[in-house]
Amino acid sequence: MKRPLYIAGSGAVTPAGLSAPQTLAAIRAGLSAFEEMVLNEPLGATQIVARIRAHSRLRRTDGQWLVNMAARAIGEALRSGTRASEATAILLTPPESFRDHPAYGDIAPADFLMAVISATGQKFHAASRATDGGAAASIGLLERALDMMEQQGVEQVLLGGVDSLVNDTDFARLRQAGRLKGADNAQGLVPGEAAAFVRLTRSPERKAHVHAAIHGVGLAQEKDSVLSERYSQGGALLGALRDAVNGSGPSEPDIDFVVSNGNGERYSGWEQLIARPRFYRTRREILPTAYPAMTIGDIGAASGALVLMLAADSFLKDYAPGKTAVCELASENGLRAAAVMVCMTRR
């Protein structure tokens, strides 16, 4: 990146909390939002999920539910600062198009961003965009966020995503692929749902002593995705990590801990097991790693911003195991991303 980006605020609605502070506190405490859900298909079967408890009127359709989640998280992130919404751009990652998410039966993908903006009741900068690609795509948009603030008159960017794997369509495809966690599959994912956004600025705000700054970003495409018939050899994740530290910022020996959207699947575990020893060559007693999915399940496209949010919060609240973090993100379609974040202090 040409210059650092700062995480100045956040907003979230997840199974662990209806705000960013609630969600982060639950993850920090190691709580679990998992529960058993009775399915319609096959009738009477149960599935472990992480579901947001909400009034039925908010879930009248799948599309309306995602829009309501996104609007709530965006509103919270916007209120964390004082800049006007008209000077604020939204970079949104909705559910990936290949999944045929039931929300798109209610709202066409091309109309999704405008539906979210309309639900907020605010006017946002015309540069706002929605991007397909899942969790890793959010990290890939960090460079664009910086360009928008430097060249298009945007004062701040709300970057994030919204998704729900708690629906019959995703249940069916994940079950067919043997990817769901259950009594017969300990190494499966727990479907979750969430919306999460971080507020990005070009410089630190106010007179706070501690700031979370993003210094480097890497992006790569894995040919052997979880949707293929082969296990990943970690090439794309390794490439993303190397690109993230290929600059004037922190390098591999400086990294103190990792925040990952790993979801407990066998595929995810093996990929990390192969890629990390090839990247982390400096001797460490341990490499502390945070997995938010242990609390809120796999939240798909929303996990990109959530991982950034958790890393930043650990710096601001002084519970991070060091001053430099790497955020690792993987999307189902094979996109891999990494971002280096640093705890910065000023007098």
CATH number, domain of 17, equals 3.40.47.10
Identify the domain boundary among 179, 201, 223: 201
3-state helix, strand, coil in the chain (%, to 5): 35, 25, 40
CA dist list (Å): 270 to 124, 172, 210, 236, 338: 42, 24, 36, 14, 18
DSSP β-ladder status, 257-260 and 324-330:
parallel
Look at residue 326 and tell me if it is in a domain. Answer: yes
How many angstroms separate the CA atoms of 220 and 210, rounded? 31
Would you place residue 101 in the very low, low, confident or very high pLDDT band (cuts 50, 70, 90)? very high
Look at residue 208 and tell me if it is in a domain. Answer: no
Look at residue 62 and tell me if it is in a domain. Answer: yes
Q: Are residues 309 and 242 in the same domain?
A: yes
Q: Mean of the pLDDT values across residues 137-149?
A: 96
Is residue 134 within 8 Å of residue 301, measured between CB atoms?
yes
Please list, in sequence order, all residues whose beta carbon lies within 8 angstroms of the beta carbon of residue 215, skipping any fewer than 6 positions away: 1, 4, 247, 249, 250, 340, 341, 342
Please give the pLDDT value at position 44: 81
Q: Are residues 137 and 188 in the same domain?
A: yes
Q: Which segment of 57-71, 158-172, 198-212, 278-292 scores lowest on mean pLDDT?
A: 198-212
Q: Are residues 177 and 227 in the same domain?
A: no
Q: Are residues 192 and 228 in the same domain?
A: no
- Whose structure tokens read 């794997």? 165
How many angstroms separate the CA atoms of 345 and 347, rounded? 7
Look at residue 206 and tell me if it is in a domain. Answer: no
Q: Which of 208-212, 225-229, 300-304 is predicted most confidently?
A: 300-304
How many angstroms separate the CA atoms of 224 and 185, rounded? 22
Domain of 25 in residue numbering reads as 5-201
This prediction's pTM? 0.95
Instruction: DSSP letter for 82, please.
Output: -
pLDDT at residue 92 greater than cutoff 70: yes
Would you place residue 56 in the very low, low, confident or very high pLDDT band (cuts 50, 70, 90)? confident
CA dist list (Å): 164 to 95, 109, 299: 8, 15, 6
Is residue 19 within 8 Å of residue 216, measured between CB atoms?
no
Helix boundaries (H) for the chain: 20-28, 62-79, 112-120, 135-140, 142-151, 168-176, 235-244, 266-279, 293-296, 303-316
Q: Are residues 106 and 246 in the same domain?
A: no
pLDDT at residue 171 greater than cutoff 70: yes
How many angstroms separate the CA atoms of 220 and 188, rounded? 24
Please list, in sequence order, all residues whose beta carbon lies within 8 angstroms of the beta carbon of residue 53, skipping any fewer than 6 positions away: 15
Would you place residue 249 in the very low, low, confident or very high pLDDT band (cuts 50, 70, 90)? confident
Chain-centroid distance of CA 45 in Å reads 30
Q: Are residues 85 and 220 in the same domain?
A: no
Q: Are residues 87 and 228 in the same domain?
A: no
What average pLDDT does the chain have? Answer: 95
Q: Mean of the pLDDT values across residues 229-257?
A: 94
How many angstroms separate the CA atoms of 173 and 24, rounded? 30
Please give the pLDDT value at position 45: 86
Share of the chain above pLDDT 70, in %: 100
Look at residue 207 and tell me if it is in a domain. Answer: no
The count of domains in the chain is: 2
- Whose structure tokens read 């039966």? 105
Choose among 124, 62, 51, 54: nearest CA to 92.
124
Which two tokens mark 29? Answer: 């405490």
Q: Are residues 92 and 219 in the same domain?
A: no
Would you place residue 247 in the very low, low, confident or very high pLDDT band (cuts 50, 70, 90)? confident
Chain-centroid distance of CA 170 in Å reads 18
Helix (H, G, I), strand (E, B) or coil at 148: helix
Is residue 191 within 8 Å of residue 298, measured between CB atoms?
yes
How many angstroms separate the CA atoms of 312 and 309, rounded? 5
Look at residue 210 and tell me if it is in a domain. Answer: no
Q: Are residues 220 and 196 in the same domain?
A: no
What is the total residue count of the chain? 347
